[in-house]
Structure 1
Amino acid sequence: MRPAELDRVTVAEAADRYVELVRARTVTGALSPASAEVYARDVATLVELAGADVVLDDLTGADVDAILLAFARRPDGRTARARDGRAGAGGGAQAGAGQSPSSQARFRRSISALFKHATLAGWVQINPMTRSTVTARQRGGLRAERRALTREQAQGLIGAARELREAPPEHGKRRDQRTELRDAVIVLLLATVGPRVSELVRANVEDFFTNDGVRYWRIFGKGGRTRDVPLPGDVARVLQAYLEQEREPRRESDPRDGRDDGKALLLSWRGRRLARGDVQAVIDRVQRRVDPDRRRSVTPHGLRHTTATHLLADAVDMDAVRRVLGHSDLSTLGRYRDELPGELEVAMRSHPLLRDRPAP
């Protein structure tokens, strides 16, 4: 039950009150005008990303994750202007991808300060920043924490990927521009087989073969090691549908411009091999189809953690899990085994020493 003194202000109202307070501090010299304007700009961005009419107290840690990652992926206007200037002078600088790590860290500090004030002012019961799983990296910007999804979250994501097989085409897209089956294959392979993202984007169609009725993926991993991993039946069926309905028509109809992407498993709608950076966008797109109560931001490596965690939690042989993930020894599995809510309680309820007790 909410306390009587809780002030259910919207994000826009809270932002206006906070910015007014910040600017007032410049009068006393506690804050420079330039710093106050930086805070105001970041808070305005928060309003844009969170939604002006959303009640501030309704924001959860998952919402903060989405806001931080959405900001991180926004184009950096300063980088674009600098690039355009170099291009005009004959330079060929490559486009920057999203905000710089320093800008991401600054934005995080700005909204952290707002939520800290909101907690003291009675605008929120719990500071949602304390529930965020996005961590700050000194040289890598903001990233979703590489930890496993819970069973409910993983099943929600897998369910959304399965439904893509029957999804209607997006408005305005031609048949050869559809990517629903490809997106489903990406999420299902990451969540059930747990490959490294580099192994996934390097995969070729010829790496998948059938033996005795079972579909296998020959994965080329680190150190020149290969492993043959059997695919779950559902995953194999979606893969086959993608190969027949999306990939082959696209490969035949789109020009290569001299590039040899014809063998690649995962192609863009233009017929190019997908890059590592494209995979996160696919996961985020599928996540938007998941019920909000079962949704949590996750990276490709987080899905690798998810595979390891749930296979081990289900008492799958450790050496079999090691071979699925492509590790050289069992000790490495410790880094991929995350705790799950309630798993200790389940383990103690089914304690092996208390099974088949003799009748009293």
Structure 2
Amino acid sequence: MRPGEVERVTVAESVDRYVEMVRAKSVTGTLAPSSAELYARDALTFAALAGPGRVLDDLSGGDVDEVLLRFARKPDGRRARPEPAVAGVASQSAASQARFRRSVSAFFRYAVVAGWVQLDPMAAVTVRPRRRGGLRAERRALTAEQAEGLLGAARDLAAGPPGGAVAGRRADQRTELRDGLIVLLLAAVGPRVSELTRADVEHFFVNGGTRYWRIFGKGGRTRDVPLPGPVADVLDAYLRDGRRLLDRGREPKALLLSWRGRRLARGDVQGVIDRVLARVEPERRRGVTPHGLRHTTATHLLAAATDMDAVRRVLGHADLSTLGRYRDELPGELEAAMRVHPLLPPPRA
């Protein structure tokens, strides 16, 4: 489309069309539903901050700068009682600001293709979010001792006494078996938390005597990941004894069920991890998030000299370069590498 043919649509109208497009992509499988909703939410926030009635093509880089600054000062709605904005102080984290900026950039790239703007104003934007100074501790990989303590607690929990009513628990399901399975899957396979909660019973199958998990990941990509033997054993026990039937004896579709028999929500997973962590010896206990367990999987697989492409496939990344973000340093790793330096073989006896 030539510059003279630019369609002068308002910010609100262009965002509505864009949101419809990204949600359609989630229906066709080219964009994960969670990603589509994130893009849609940020686009709607952009429209509210930029002024819904303004013509999109009239926005300059300075106008977008102002929107980014307004977003940075916007109270974080995830808090129960958002703190009032303070002049010169950002209410949004650096990560949230960077994510919002990426969403706005994606919106304007589409606007150029759709013919709503002559030039992408993001090229003239000067506001940049502060870079994060590394991951928070709970999002970093566990050490071998910490991971072994957590996995041991998960296996012990899953191996608890079967059946029977437990005080404060349902008699028709074993939530302790479910909790152990969740931690084992997160730490041994490293799925995204959305991939874990979206898992259905039919996504697990056996091929050649090995139990596999068909994971439906980002961008409509799927991967078949073999489960380690101890994890497969807990999975089989959970499928056999741990899940309650729905009314009239129907088998539920979701793998992980809440106490009420519904699909487990993403927000419930952290509580499960914390309950299992409480059973770990204090000297090996360290707080960790689901994403931190994903880091743990990648870090220890790579530290064990596992093929990088195999690790990429386990985690569901399209590019090997992405692994760098999931690779944390381990205590003693450099010392071990230097002890077996390839250019300096050990002296002969």
Hey, what's the Cα distance between the residues in 1 that align with 2:249 and 2:266?
22
Q: TM-score, normalised by structure 1?
A: 0.58
Aligned with residue 340 of structure 1, among 310, 319, 330:
330
Aligned with residue 163 of structure 1, among 146, 149, 156:
156
- Output aligned runs, 1:189-268, within 5 Å: 189-247=185-243, 250-253=244-247, 262-268=252-258
1:219 aligns to what SS in structure 2? strand
Equivalent position of 2:171 in the other structure: 175
Equivalent position of 2:290 in the other structure: 300
Alignment RMSD (CA, Å): 2.7
Q: Is residue 316 of structure 2 the alignment partner of residue 322 of structure 1?
A: no
Hey, what's the Cα distance between the residues in 1 that align with 2:224 and 2:168?
40
1:266 aligns to what SS in structure 2? coil
Cα 1:101–1:219, aligned 2, differ >3 Å: closer, same or farther? Answer: farther
1:190 aligns to what SS in structure 2? helix
Using the TM superposition, give the Cα deviation of residue 329 of structure 1 relative to its aligned residue in structure 2, in angstroms. 1.1
Hey, what's the Cα distance between the residues in 2 that align with 1:98 and 1:339?
32
Q: Is the 8 A contact 2:174 2:241 kept in 1?
A: no
Equivalent position of 1:309 in the other structure: 299
- Larger displacement relative to structure 2 (328-337 or 347-356): 347-356
* Aligned-partner residue type, residue 258 of structure 2: S
Q: Is the 8 A contact 1:266 1:274 kept in 2?
A: yes
Equivalent position of 1:90 in the other structure: none
Hey, what's the Cα distance between the residues in 2 that align with 1:327 and 1:211?
23
Deviation per CA, 1:51-81: give whole Å up to 9, x if none. xxxxxxxxxxxxxxxxxxxxxxxxxxxxxxx
Hey, what's the Cα distance between the residues in 2 that align with 1:171 and 1:346?
49
Cα 1:341–1:217, aligned 2, differ >3 Å: closer, same or farther? Answer: same
- Output aligned runs, 1:36-115, within 5 Å: 99-100=80-81, 102=83
Cα 1:336–1:237, aligned 2, differ >3 Å: closer, same or farther? Answer: same
2:225 aligns to what SS in structure 1? strand
* Aligned-partner residue type, residue 303 of structure 2: A
Q: TM-score, normalised by structure 2?
A: 0.60
- Output aligned runs, 1:120-139, within 5 Å: 137=93
Cα 1:100–1:305, aligned 2, differ >3 Å: closer, same or farther? Answer: farther
1:352 aligns to what SS in structure 2? coil
* Aligned-partner residue type, residue 204 of structure 2: F
Q: Is the 8 A contact 1:254 1:270 kept in 2?
A: no
* Aligned-partner residue type, residue 263 of structure 2: R
**Structure 1 unmatched ranges of 5 or more:** 1-95, 104-135
Using the TM superposition, give the Cα deviation of residue 99 of structure 1 relative to its aligned residue in structure 2, in angstroms. 3.9
Hey, what's the Cα distance between the residues in 2 that align with 1:288 and 1:198?
24
* Aligned-partner residue type, residue 304 of structure 1: R
Hey, what's the Cα distance between the residues in 1 that align with 2:78 and 2:238?
29
* Aligned-partner residue type, residue 297 of structure 1: G
Deviation per CA, 1:300-331: give whole Å up to 9, x if none. 00000000000001110101000000011110
* Aligned-partner residue type, residue 305 of structure 1: H
Cα 1:101–1:187, aligned 2, differ >3 Å: closer, same or farther? Answer: farther
1:298 aligns to what SS in structure 2? coil
Using the TM superposition, give the Cα deviation of residue 137 of structure 1 relative to its aligned residue in structure 2, in angstroms. 3.7
* Aligned-partner residue type, residue 229 of structure 1: V
1:351 aligns to what SS in structure 2? coil
Percent identical across equivalent pairs?
73
Cα 1:253–1:152, aligned 2, differ >3 Å: closer, same or farther? Answer: farther
Using the TM superposition, give the Cα deviation of residue 346 of structure 1 relative to its aligned residue in structure 2, in angstroms. 1.2
Hey, what's the Cα distance between the residues in 2 that align with 1:339 and 1:222?
26
Using the TM superposition, give the Cα deviation of residue 246 of structure 1 relative to its aligned residue in structure 2, in angstroms. 1.1
